[in-house]
Structure 1
Amino acid sequence: MTRMHNRRTATEAAELIDEACRRSGLDDFGERDPAPALERFIDSVDQDARLADPFRTALFEQVVGYLVNRLEVEDWHKRCLDIGREQIRAPVFGVGLPRTASTLAVSLLAQDPATRSLRWWEAARPCPPPTAETQHDDPRIAEARAAYELQQQVIPELTAMVPIEPTGPMECNWVLAHQMTSMHYFVYVDAESYVRWVISDDCDMGPAYRHHRQVLQLLQWRCPPKRWNLKGPQHMFHLHALDSVYPDARFVVTHREPATVLVSLARLAETLHKVYGGGDRRRIGRFIVGLWEEGLRRLIAFRDENGNDERFFDIHFEPFMADRLGTMRAVYDWLGWEFTPAAEAGIRRWQERNPQQPNPYSAADYGLDADEIRERFSFYTTRFGVT
């Protein structure tokens, strides 16, 4: 039975890869064969998520799109060698637990015209490389806006939960998905065994981060500025791989009381899982607690190595909410960036467009106990003074 299942999985993975090649007219995926990771993902979807056929088909359509992106990025690098000569200097990565105002932090930094972010429409389709002249009316913006409007129709509550815009910054997991090594997929389906593999030592993240750099090189090639502001909670699990590609990277870490965070994250995961038919909220809740405990332990271990702690700036949730501009000024001062009138004006405009909205939820809904979470995460709250 196992051999038969593996043969079927391998066949389906090959079909998805062939479809990406057919659509793009390309066949060079670069450094690593996508098949082994894709097979793991398919197995996890079938064993963990157990999606109905229409949802399964829609999910794999998304996978084909990411494979096409990867093929096109590789092709542009081969045809235009100048792209690979682009330097990515001292990028700033937002890390820390999800639901800690990390999206808010990266969004406010993105309002500075001197700063470059991975925008939604670029993350969805990096190729062809954007240009400075066409970046504000690129047809991909309309595509992203249409996707955003559809999202609002399907899951209207998401707008209040995650303040994102079609032209605003997107998480790096959309790029890591090109290599089939991204937690992005767990956002939509209960692919628990796949995520466990992604964060394990068996998954070499070096190729994924080298491809990530290729994407940044391509995006900044004809479309400055070149001062990168990036974000992705998944980076906590792979800081050594990230550091091997970006040794001068700096990190902004957002902090919030973990019981509140993890229940909020379980609520977000449940909401997004509705896109592909839903999932077991209690199973999701239990998995999320263990997953992000591991992420925080890895973050702390990395910070304790070789003077790395100096590369991190910590933002605490309550003071951030009370004084967003003051917090951003402090971040700029630490980074050595000038906090210009243009940056301040952009931040003020963004806040007017995105007022904070409450999102009620209960730990018990997800089989979680807030006091147990606080005890389990005391290693984190004590270290960083999180209350």
Structure 2
Amino acid sequence: MNLAYRAARRIGTHPMALRADALKNRASRGAGGLTDFGDPRFEAGLEQLIASLEDEDRLNGFGRVMAGTHLTNLLRQRLLLTEHLRQHPEIRDEKIQRPIFIVGAPRTGTTVTHHLLSKDSGFRYPLTWECDELHPPLNPATMDHDPRIAASEKQIRRIMALAPNLDAAHPVGAREAQECALLHAYAFHSDTFHVMFNCQGYARWLTRQDLRWVYEEEKLLLQYMQSGGLRPATSWLLKTPPHMENIDNILGVFPDARFVTTYREPTEIVASGCSLAGTVFHMAEDDPDWHDHGRFMRWRTTRMLERNVELRRQFAHLGDRFVDFPMQRMVSDPLSCVTEIYDHFGIELTESNRAKMSRFVDERGMANRKPHVYRAADYGLDIDELWPRLQFYRDFYGIEDTRS
């Protein structure tokens, strides 16, 4: 596919160009002729995303097929969701109470924290297969053999075949707890697109947007998801690193939200983030400029950390809503972190749930996983030069300088 695409480009043609109208029409056909996509604010994100993909022109043939298929599916799902909500307006009355948001920076152990806490049956969380295909709402009676699970597993196997090192950097499974970034993708305002397609122009545009409405849509999606009958006994458990720079938006939409923060030496956050994103988008791009990627990730991560510290200071009066952990403690003694989280938020940790978490740590904890190997220099990062630029983050979270 990639060879054929490159050959076509060499003779001056541009096959598989992405166009919003064509994608919408294809989505409408896939949704039985529906045409109402809901809140029109998604349009700006879709247009900016397509413009970034076309103008930067990084995608190979496979990447173009993947982008077209992915965007069409998101649009098709928007149509189905909008129609379902029109037919069931009572969904907007569903209660979302005291959700817990994991708001650590990328590469600080947020995923393993999310997966560990998800072993508590009292929590409700987005499942990977559920995020892949939201319609119809999950039915607890059939959720263990829903055909969407097999479809999600097939897709994950395909991705792992193309990016065999991904599991070391970011474990994923169809039945695992999944990031809210996949929910934000339905609004076409999501950092997940850059990780998939290296669309830097879109990612820079996204940082300038007011995302309050995206969190309002996330709340509506959570109401929709639990309306099928699987509601949390304790609370929703939600996670994606960009939450850390949207604490104000989260509190504006979920005023009783609680937060768990994981943190780590910030130069490692930048370097490890370069590796993870590169592992993913390398499927869709031939011969990436890794130093260019490193420069972008340095800027993007620094901005995210700066905004997080700014917001933490802004909401210092809500200090009892936050509990913070260094990544190393989550690696070396995760169950003590869990105990502290539960004590801090007044949640009962039953022996049954503790036992399930202990088994998870023994079988799949970070200490037992394949190491994620990366080198900052591969992305043109000069750690000595970057170090002082990120001191503000160390100062706020009390991270010690361990350099010898």
User: Taking structure 2 as the reference length, what is the TM-score of the superposition?
Assistant: 0.89
Q: Which amino acid aligns with 1:18?
A: N
Which residue of structure 2 lines up, in the alignment, with residue 329 of structure 1? Answer: 339
Alpha-carbon distance in 1 for matches of 2:204, 2:265:
24
RMSD: 1.8
SS of structure 1 residue aligned to 2:143:
coil
Matching of residue 363 in structure 1 with residue 376 in structure 2: yes
Deviation at 1:33?
4.5
1:342 to 337, 352, 359: 352
Deviation at 1:204, TM superposition (A): 3.1
* Structure 1 residues 300-321: Cα deviation after superposition (integer angstroms, max 9, x where no partner): 2222224233322111112221
Whole-angstrom distance in 1 between the partners of 2:328 and 2:18: 51
Q: Aligned equivalents of 1:106 and 1:36: distance in 2?
A: 31
CA distance in structure 2 between the partners assigned to 1:156 and 1:249 by the alignment: 36
Give 1:11 shift: 8.7
Given the alignment of the two structures, is residue 320 of structure 1 paired with residue 330 of structure 2, yes or no?
Answer: yes
Deviation at 1:172, TM superposition (A): 0.6
Q: Work out the CA distance in 1 between the residues paired with 2:363 and 2:136.
A: 30
C-alpha displacement at 1:122, in angstroms?
Answer: 0.8
Which whole-Å CA distance do the structure 1 matches of 2:311 and 2:318 have between them? 7
Q: Does 1:155 align with 2:168?
A: no
Query: Are 1:152 and 1:159, in contact at CA under 8 Å, matched by a contact in 2?
Result: yes
Preserved CA contact (<8 Å) 1:51 1:277:
yes
Give, as a single letter, the amino acid of the residue that structure 2 aligns with 1:351. V
Q: 1:121·1:141 contact (CA, 8 Å) conserved in 2?
A: yes
Residue 178 (structure 1) aligns with:
186
How many equivalent residue pairs? 377
User: Which contiguous aligned blocks of 4+ residues in structure 1 show a shift greater than 3 angstroms?
Assistant: none
Quick check: 1:210 aligned with 2:220?
Answer: no
Q: Is 1:13 the counterpart of 2:20 in the alignment?
A: yes
Q: Which of 269, 281, 289 is equivalent to 2:290?
A: 281
Deviations, residues 228-265 of structure 1 (Å, cap 9, x unaligned): 00101112233322222111111111101111221111
Kept in 2, the 8 Å contact 1:73–1:214? The answer is no
Q: Deviations over 1:186-224 (max 9, x none)?
A: 112221111111110xx2323221211111111112112
Q: What is the alpha-carbon distance in structure 1 between the residues aligned to residue 173 and residue 61 of structure 2?
A: 31
SS of residue matched to 1:96 = coil
- How far has the Cα of 1:86 moved from its partner? 0.4
For 1:318 and 1:155, locate their aligned partners in 2 and report how far apart those are by CA, in whole Å. Answer: 26
Of 189, 200, 203, the residue aligned with 1:192 is 200
Aligned mate of 1:22, from 25, 29, 41 = 29
State the TM-score, normalizing by the size of structure 1. 0.93
Of the three residues 257, 263, 286, the one matched with 2:271 is: 263
Rounded to whole Å, the distance in 1 between the matches of 2:325 and 2:83 is 40
Residue 288 of structure 1: how far off its partner (Å): 0.9
CA distance in 2, matches of 1:305, 1:261: 23
